[in-house]
């Protein structure tokens, strides 16, 4: 009941007079002594408390009582003269909302009490708003935490779904590699070994994890275009004629055409199309030079060549490592990227997989 005022005065007549002044706009109660005051403060919440400082009431005791019981109440103190007001303000600073002194104090009282009650209501509303904001903020924080948990769960689900998709894609790609090897049994295991050497060289060349992932599949499937090469050419035991070579050399472009049509193969296009390019030019199908050739293709080119040297074929035996190194050193520059060759021959990659 914050629109209510309490009048503290030792005389019942004075209390009644002040209450008359405030009525009917402001409802009020009266207290004539300390025990009256305590009882009122304990039972009712007041917006404004008016005290007329007359003996035997001690304004210090009353103000201390009010501050303890209802610290938010606005106190209006009617005093005899300004000196008394100054003394009280010095001993209890900030406890009194207004001092009223002089003969017209009763007639000013109505306005001052009204102002006190209005301010009191505003303060109360402000506190309510702040409290509500605090509650909303708390709710918001809880909601944010909940959202965080949901987002983490969804992310995990997506990760699992992505991993499973990747596993499926991997199986499909390995199926392609098997299809290539099934066509040409002499190259059995060639795709897998090329991928192993390429990964070792890619790591030495400090490729990113994302590039290594592409390189693994790119090396595995670099000859995917051989699916489109005629068996008579692909499986011919002897040397190829010029015309047959022209046909054989179409496999990077055929591979490119196959890879372009499948989303999951598109990232490996550089390996498929450019693994027969040469560092100094003169390779196929695009006659690229030096760093024009994608690095993944340069790595596959070295790995592919090494596997051809290091494996037994019907027409030749595997070359020993020193001889392979010699060929690589000779071809570093003309055929292969010299920096990659240096890594390939000096970092123990060949020795590791023999
Ligand atoms: Fe090839």
Domains and CATH numbers, the chain: 5-128 (3.40.50.2300), 184-352 (1.10.3210.10)
- Centre of ligand 1 to C-alpha 248, Å, is 9
- Centre of ligand 1 to C-alpha 182, Å, is 16
* N residues, the chain: 354
- Centre of ligand 1 to C-alpha 275, Å, is 6
- Centre of ligand 1 to C-alpha 346, Å, is 25
- DSSP string for residues in 119-156: HHHHHHHHHHHHHHHHHHHHHHHHHHHHHHHHHHHHHH
C-alpha dihedral, 31 to 36 to 42 to 45, nearest 10°: 0
pLDDT at 67: 87
- Centre of ligand 1 to C-alpha 300, Å, is 9
pLDDT at 235: 84
Query: How far is Cα 85 from Cα 79, in angstroms, rounded to an integer?
Result: 6
- Centre of ligand 1 to C-alpha 347, Å, is 25
Helix/strand/coil for 102: coil
pLDDT at 104: 65
- Centre of ligand 1 to C-alpha 183, Å, is 14
pLDDT at 1: 45
Which strand ranges, in their side-by-side order, compose the sheet holding 28-31? 28-31, 5-8, 48-52, 74-79, 98-101
- Centre of ligand 1 to C-alpha 298, Å, is 12
Low-confidence ranges of the chain (pLDDT < 70): 1-2, 102-105, 186
- Centre of ligand 1 to C-alpha 252, Å, is 7
- Centre of ligand 1 to C-alpha 285, Å, is 11
Neighbours of 36 (CB within 10 A): 16
Q: Token digits for 314?
A: 């019907």
Query: How far is Cα 138 from Cα 87, in angstroms, rounded to an integer?
Result: 46
Using a CB cutoff of 5 Å, list residues around ligand 1, an ion.
223
């Amino acid at each position: 009941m914050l629109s209510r005022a309490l009048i503290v005065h030792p005389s019942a007549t004075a209390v009644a007079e002040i209450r008359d002044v405030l009525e009917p706009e402001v409802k009020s109660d009266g207290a004539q002594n300390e025990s009256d005051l305590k009882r009122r403060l304990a039972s009712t919440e007041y917006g404004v408390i008016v005290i007329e400082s007359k003996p035997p009431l001690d304004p210090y005791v009353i103000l201390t009582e009010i501050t303890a019981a209802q610290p938010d109440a606005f106190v209006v103190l009617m005093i005899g003269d300004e000196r008394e007001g100054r003394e009280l303000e010095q001993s209890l600073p900030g406890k009194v909302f207004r001092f009223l002194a002089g003969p017209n104090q009763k007639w000013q009282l109505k306005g001052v009490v009204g102002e006190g009650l209005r301010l009191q209501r505003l303060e109360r509303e402000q506190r309510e708003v702040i409290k509500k904001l605090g509650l909303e903020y708390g709710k918001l924080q809880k909601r944010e935490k909940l959202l965080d948990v949901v987002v983490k769960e969804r992310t995990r689900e997506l990760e699992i779904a992505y991993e499973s998709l990747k596993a499926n894609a991997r199986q499909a790609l390995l199926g392609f590699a098997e299809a290539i090897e099934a066509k040409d049994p002499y190259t059995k295991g060639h795709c897998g070994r090329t991928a192993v050497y390429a990964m070792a060289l890619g790591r030495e060349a400090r490729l990113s994890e994302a590039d290594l992932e592409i390189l693994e599949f790119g090396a595995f499937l670099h000859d995917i275009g051989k699916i489109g090469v005629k068996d008579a050419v692909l499986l011919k035991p002897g040397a190829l004629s010029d015309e047959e070579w022209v046909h054989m050399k179409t496999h990077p472009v055929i591979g490119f055409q196959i890879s372009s049509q499948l989303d999951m193969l598109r990232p490996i296009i550089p390996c498929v199309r450019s693994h027969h390019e040469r560092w100094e030019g003169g390779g196929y199908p695009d006659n690229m030079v030096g760093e024009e050739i994608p690095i993944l293709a340069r790595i596959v080119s070295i790995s592919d060549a090494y596997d051809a040297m290091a494996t037994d074929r019907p027409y030749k035996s595997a070359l020993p490592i020193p001889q392979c190194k010699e060929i690589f050193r000779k071809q570093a520059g003309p055929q292969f990227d010299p920096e990659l060759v240096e890594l390939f021959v000096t970092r123990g990659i060949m020795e590791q997989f023999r």
